[in-house]
Amino acid sequence: GDIQYADGLEWDASGEYLVFDAYNQLKTATGKSLDYWDVGFMRVWDTVQNTFADGTIQKLFNDLEEGESVGNPSFAKNSTAILAFDYIYEPDDTYAILGVDLEKGDVEVITNNTDIGYPDYSRLDDRAVYVTKGTGTNKNVNVIGLNANKITGKGAPTSLLLNATWPLWVSQGTRQLPTLNF
């Protein structure tokens, strides 16, 4: 009941789930106003029944601390249970790109960051791109290698594009998609 609006939206490769981040506002028992971002999953399609699902929403985390936010989720291109997202801790101005294996419940650091990163996976899920602060008010797009688990960074990040933002890794190819019969 504290969600004000959803922002970044992305479908998983199965077409069953929509992941999104949402801006939340609530008041504590003492009347203090808290605001934060979190990540949710909505089951939209039931591939077994070949119909719309019940719309159940689950949260990535149920216990964010005051000052913590997570957002800008992005599914791995080849694994429906792997997700990268921004982590922000406002009290000490901490930013990071984190990865999570939803099946195992493992959460790891892909890379520390200097700003909100809007991460995205490469076509082969072996690299991640994200935004970082550049000089002045400019932003840059960095790339970092990923370990086989797809949720930890490998090596040092490198600059991919200067004066750019909101990276999205796309490629041409074919994929077997489920057939939807309406």
Quote the CA–CA distance of 76 and 163 in Å, as a whole number: 25
Which of 10-19, 36-45, 140-149, 154-163 has the lowest average pLDDT?
A: 10-19
Asked whether the predicted pLDDT for residue 180 surpasses 80, the reply is no
* Predicted pLDDT of residue 52: 96
The model's pTM is 0.89
What would the mean pLDDT of 68-72 be, rounded to a whole number? 97
* Predicted pLDDT of residue 171: 80
Question: Alpha carbon 102 to chain centroid distance?
Answer: 12
Q: What is the pLDDT of residues 11-49, one digit of tens each?
A: 988 889 999 999 999 888 898 889 999 999 999 999 899
Quote the CA–CA distance of 179 and 119 in Å, as a whole number: 29
Asked whether the predicted pLDDT for residue 123 surpasses 80, the reply is yes
* Predicted pLDDT of residue 27: 87
What would the mean pLDDT of 103-117 be, rounded to a whole number? 97
* Predicted pLDDT of residue 181: 64
* Predicted pLDDT of residue 14: 84
User: 83 falls in which pLDDT band (50, 70, 90)?
Assistant: very high
DSSP 127-180: EEEEEEE-STT-EEEEEEEE-TTSSSEEEEEEEEESS--S--------------
Asked whether the predicted pLDDT for residue 63 surpasses 90, the reply is no
Nearest to 68 by CA among 100, 35, 41: 35
Q: What is the 3-state secondary structure (H, E, C) of the chain?
A: CCEEEEEEEEECCCCCEEEEEEEEEEECCCCCEEEEEEEEEEECEECCCCEECCCCEEECCCCCCCCEEEEEEEECCCCCCEEEEEEEEHHHCEEEEEEEECCCCEEEEEEEECCCCCCEECCCCCEEEEEEECCCCCEEEEEEEECCCCCCEEEEEEEEECCCCCCCCCCCCCCCCCCCCC
* Predicted pLDDT of residue 1: 58
